[in-house]
Chain A
Amino acid sequence: MQETKITSATVYVVDDDEAVRDSIQLLLQSVDYAVETFESPLTFLKAAAAIESGCLVLDVRMPAMSGLELQQRLKQNGVPIPVIFITGHGDVPMAVQAMQAGAFDFLQKPFRDQDLLDRIGEALAWDRNRSRGGRRQDGIRANLKLLSPREREVLDRVVQGQANKVIAADLELSQRTVEIHRARVMEKMQADSLADLVRMMLIVESDSANS
């Protein structure tokens, strides 16, 4: 059993391949990152509730639970940690799917050590910005207050992945009206993409879950 003391910025590595875990751990320790490795996605999922900051290096293919599934579960549990996928058998559709689900990055093996370190550095910087004094949270909350009740209803459904058609039926609106609400939501929230919007909602939701 691993005892997990979750402190500040830690890089979590979840991979069923011991050799990969070890080599990434060595690499990260060589540049003084705090590292925690997990063989099983399920063990990590249990520990994840206590994670406050850091980033996750995640293998796509694992028995029991795939990396993409783990990413989904973390999202559902409101753990807003940036995820960098690594895979030996990645293809374009898989990479696109992971990115659409809000992954921070997706790296194919073999990658250069420096590439992984660069991505981890970026992910940690992103994560620091997220948690720094809750400034980003405050910004997102302030933007949320600008939304009309209708726009908020549309937003909640959009981030759950509902299609406009479904939202329109659900709220008894025309699809065109939903599109307009949706465009206003993106504008008021200053979101670049759906993935960006999903990340923002993760950030504020995980915060209200903790407080």
Chain B
Amino acid sequence: MDQSVAGHAGITTPHRIDILLAEPDEAVRDSMQVLFETVGFAVESARDAGQVEALLLQQPPRCLVMASEFTPHGGIALLSQLREHGFNVPAIITACRGGVPLAVEAMRAGATDFLEKPLLDARLLLAVKRVMSQ
């Protein structure tokens, strides 16, 4: 077998992750993934809180993009918990509603940035690049 093909399967070799997505809405998740991959970022998605923490430990991404609606307890509560556990990964929280109060709550929980949905592609890419360069 061609070794490069085996390498691409990514089973034995841990691959690089630029962006870890924690987004419960499948349509939003897919469109974000396409957007990020189009500009060359390696993207991984997490299904639940445990998977977020596991991936942060195993293959620390350069940025976490998490919905405030992620997990039953919410993405902001999860972010607080991650910060308490010492994860300093730059994190962008996204939300469908909530306005200023939710934005402030997210920032106090340790978010690096906060974006309202619907997300404009350009705005999202700019935010990701900005937090990565910090």
Which residues of A pack against B, CB within 8 Å?
A: 90-92, 95-96, 99-100, 105-106, 108, 163-165, 183, 186-187, 191-196
Contacts and interface: CB of A to CB of B under 8 A. Distances in A.
B108 A99 contact: yes
Contact of B134 (A105, A163, A192): A163
17 contacts: A90-B100, A92-B99, A92-B114, A95-B100, A96-B113, A100-B112, A106-B100, A108-B100, A163-B134, A164-B134, A183-B88, A187-B86, A192-B83, A193-B83, A194-B112, A194-B134, A195-B107
Contacts of A195: 107
Interface in B92-126: 99-101, 103-104, 107-108, 110, 112-114, 116
Interface of B: 83-84, 86, 88, 99-101, 103-104, 107-108, 110, 112-114, 116, 133-134
A167 B114 CA distance: 25
Given A99-B107, A108-B101, A187-B88, A92 B133 contact: no
- The B interface is mostly helix, strand or loop, or mixed, namely helix
A134 B113 CA distance: 31
Contacts of A193: 83, 88, 110, 112
